[in-house]
């Protein structure tokens, strides 16, 4: 009887760590730059849903104008300048939401908002109130959201603008989008009279006008994080370290003094995990809206990301409930990391880049091997990403000499991430220090897939080809030598091959030796080391899958 082999790249009962390439960069230009208004200097952070930039050390309570750009003046938002009043410390955080969310709010796309400075009052001025915002003031409901309902006497289409302060045409006033002195917003009433609700959401750069505007809800949001992996690695010491929540709602507080501190609660989920930490915070907002972007943070900066933030690519977020109530968020691992996402032994990792036809971004400098240097920067360096300059970085070696291939060997200690995030650049005389291969945050992402020999060779990169490897998968089974089936997959530490005679059975046999910390049989592929084994052919079907076991 002919054997039948089928392969499945199953995840098992665990979730993958979320490693994704950074999205399109955006920048903030404004009065805080003086008269220059440089569109490509002050890069916003976050993404891809929300980008942020905090301006500090300005005149308290002063007005200032801003625009979000794509790094040039070819595209900028909003249409007119965003007018903002700094808070009592001379600071403001600007938020940008690119794209079209299709959520019923206005403006329909590319929204620019800002954290409520706490020194603003708002009103609605329009056809229905003689264009006098003092007749229709808005009431703060918290978190930068303002709301009220007003009676429009007759059925009509009305133009309007939001005003701050109410009745003033000299400070902040906008309608169609958040650009100061832009086109009026509009709405239509069909009854005489008709009550019309208005909701203004400053941080999200949006507003809602109409009969069905929802009332705000109050939710007690419960944050919870599992610190087990960090304890196992020795990165987190409960006796000395504190874990807390930092987000838009508390100004991205980077110290436990101002942030939401979490408390150890071993029986939080009714199980036996003694390493869960939790805290509760009250949010007021519109039903189903994003309550806040946030990250878990630790005051031990040795293992956190920037200022102790958990090192995941994108901010976390949650949506408020449709009604008042308690919203317990799922328990997540700090950094979404499993133990297998960290090296268990010291490694030498060899990087290789091909500089053929290499040109820099954005100036288009053509690589000159006789005079230029090639550099690499990334999360694998001691202390993380370094400053881009020849003092902080070591040039890559031309290997073999005279070719356009450059190499770099990095010592990466146990406890570092197996996911590598890095970028190449060229140092040449026409610029002060360097020029990158691609825009900021458009990086290379590769995994250290095999650690048994202590040395791992990454696939050759092309300068300017920003490649991102999959975490694991690509499981295949095909004919090989007589009496054998060749099984191949892209693995890594913590990933093991399993086999079974049927999909409905529970008797999956685990090949523990196929874990990336042990396995050495395979070949180099575009996605790094590809594991391979010859499985003896036998009667009946065989099913294969990959699991993340630890």
Domain 4-16+472-548 has CATH 3.40.50: no
Assign 487 a pLDDT band (cuts: 50, 70, 90).
very high
Query: What tokens does 152 get?
Result: 């429009």
Fold adopted by 18-213:
Immunoglobulin-like (2.60.40)
Rounded to the nearest integer, the mean pLDDT of the chain is: 86
Domain spans in the chain, listed from the N-terminal domain onward: 4-16+472-548, 18-213, 217-337, 341-462
Assign 269 a pLDDT band (cuts: 50, 70, 90).
confident
Residue-wise pLDDT for 372-412, tens only, equals 999 999 888 887 788 766 557 889 999 999 999 999 999 99
Q: Please tell me if the domain spanning 217-337 has the same topology as the one spanning 341-462.
A: yes
The residue-averaged pLDDT of 334-348 equals 90
pLDDT at 23 over 80: no
Could you give the count of Cα atoms lying within 13 Å of 325 in the half-sphere of its Cβ? 10
Kindly state the percentage of the chain with pLDDT values over 70. Answer: 89
Query: What tokens does 52 get?
Result: 């942020």
Instruction: Choose the weakest-confidence range: 169-183, 252-266, 332-346.
Output: 252-266
Instruction: Choose the weakest-confidence range: 337-351, 361-375, 395-409, 479-493.
Output: 479-493
pLDDT at 264 over 80: yes
CA 165 to chain centre: 35
Assign 361 a pLDDT band (cuts: 50, 70, 90).
confident
Q: Is the dihedral of CA 220, 246, 31, 100 positive or negative?
A: negative
Assign 6 a pLDDT band (cuts: 50, 70, 90).
very low
Query: Are residues 459 and 526 in contact, defined by beta-carbon separation less than 8 angstroms?
Result: yes
Question: Could you tell me the pTM of the whole model?
Answer: 0.60
Query: Are residues 477 and 6 in contact, defined by beta-carbon separation less than 8 angstroms?
Result: yes
**407-431 burial code (b ≥16 CB/10 A, e <16):** bbebebeeebbbbbbbbbbbbbeee
Sheet strands (E) in 413-508: 419-427, 435-436, 444-447, 455-457, 461-462, 473-479, 484-490, 495-500
Would you state the pLDDT for residue 14?
29
Would you state the pLDDT for residue 513?
93
pLDDT at 286 over 90: no
Selecting from 2.60.40.10, 3.40.50.1580, 3.30.830.10, 3.50.50.60, what CATH number does the domain 341-462 have?
2.60.40.10
Residue-wise pLDDT for 165-221, tens only, equals 999 999 999 999 999 999 999 988 888 898 889 999 999 999 988 755 567 789 999
pLDDT at 482 over 80: no
Would you state the pLDDT for residue 382?
84
Residue-wise pLDDT for 212-234, tens only, equals 556 778 999 999 999 998 888 88
pLDDT at 550 over 90: no
Assign 64 a pLDDT band (cuts: 50, 70, 90).
very high
Residue-wise pLDDT for 110-164, tens only, equals 999 999 999 999 999 999 999 999 999 999 988 899 999 899 999 999 999 999 9
382 Cβ neighbours under 8 A, 6+ residues apart: none
Fold adopted by 217-337:
Immunoglobulin-like (2.60.40)
Would you state the pLDDT for residue 393?
81
Cα dihedral 434, 56, 384, 244 in deg (nearest 10): -160
Q: Quickly list H helices, 160-318.
A: 228-233
Would you state the pLDDT for residue 539?
58
């Amino acid at each position: 009887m002919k054997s039948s082999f089928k392969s499945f790249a199953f995840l098992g009962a665990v979730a993958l760590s979320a490693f994704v390439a950074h999205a399109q960069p955006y920048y903030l230009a404004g009065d805080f730059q003086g008269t220059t208004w440089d569109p490509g200097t002050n890069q916003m952070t976050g993404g891809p849903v929300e980008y942020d930039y905090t301006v500090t050390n300005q005149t308290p309570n002063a007005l200032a104008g801003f625009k979000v750009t794509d790094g040039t003046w070819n595209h900028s938002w909003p249409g007119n300048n965003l007018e903002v009043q700094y808070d009592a410390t001379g600071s403001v955080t600007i938020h940008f939401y690119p794209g079209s969310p299709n959520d019923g709010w206005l403006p329909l796309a590319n929204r620019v908002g800002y954290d409520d400075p706490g020194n603003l009052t708002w009103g609605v001025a329009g056809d229905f109130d003689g264009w006098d915002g003092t007749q229709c003031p808005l009431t703060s409901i918290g978190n930068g959201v303002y709301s009220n309902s007003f009676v429009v006497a007759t059925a009509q289409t009305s133009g309007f603008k939001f005003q701050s302060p109410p009745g003033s045409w000299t400070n902040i006033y906008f309608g169609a989008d958040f650009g100061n002195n832009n086109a009026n917003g509009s709405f239509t009433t069909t009854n005489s009279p008709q009550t019309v609700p208005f909701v203004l959401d400053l941080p999200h750069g949006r507003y809602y006008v109409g009969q069905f505007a929802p009332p705000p809800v109050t939710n007690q949001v419960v944050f919870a994080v599992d610190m087990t992996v960090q304890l196992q690695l020795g990165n987190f010491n409960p006796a000395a370290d504190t874990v807390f929540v930092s987000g838009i709602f508390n100004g991205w507080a980077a110290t436990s003094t101002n942030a939401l501190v979490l408390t150890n609660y071993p029986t939080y989920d009714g199980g036996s995990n003694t390493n869960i930490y939790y805290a509760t915070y009250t949010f007021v907002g519109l039903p189903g809206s994003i309550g806040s972007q946030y990250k878990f943070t630790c005051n031990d900066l040795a293992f956190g990301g920037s200022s102790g933030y958990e090192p995941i690519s994108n901010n976390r977020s949650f949506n408020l409930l449709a009604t008042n109530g308690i919203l317990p968020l799922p328990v997540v691992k700090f950094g979404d990391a499993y133990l297998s996402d960290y090296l268990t032994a010291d490694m030498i990792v060899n990087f290789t880049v091909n500089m053929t036809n290499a040109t820099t971004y954005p100036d288009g400098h053509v690589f000159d091997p006789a005079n230029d240097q090639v550099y690499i920067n990334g999360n694998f360096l001691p202390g993380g990403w370094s400053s881009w300059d020849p003092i902080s970085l070591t040039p890559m070696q031309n290997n073999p000499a005279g070719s356009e291939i450059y190499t770099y060997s990095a010592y990466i200690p146990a406890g570092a991430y197996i996911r590598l995030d890095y970028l190449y650049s060229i140092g040449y005389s026409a610029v002060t220090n360097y020029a990158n291969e691609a825009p900021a945050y458009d990086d290379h992402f590769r995994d250290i897939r095999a650690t048994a020999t202590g040395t791992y060779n990454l696939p050759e990169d092309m300068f300017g080809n920003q490649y991102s490897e999959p975490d694991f998968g690509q499981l295949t089974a095909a004919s090989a030598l007589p009496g054998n089936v060749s099984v191949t997959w892209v693995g890594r530490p913590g990933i093991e091959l399993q086999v079974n005679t049927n999909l409905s059975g529970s008797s999956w046999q685990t090949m523990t030796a196929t874990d990336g910390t042990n396995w050495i049989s395979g070949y180099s592929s575009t996605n790094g080391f590809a594991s391979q084994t010859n499985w003896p052919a036998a009667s009946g079907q065989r099913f294969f899958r990959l699991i993340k076991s630890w």
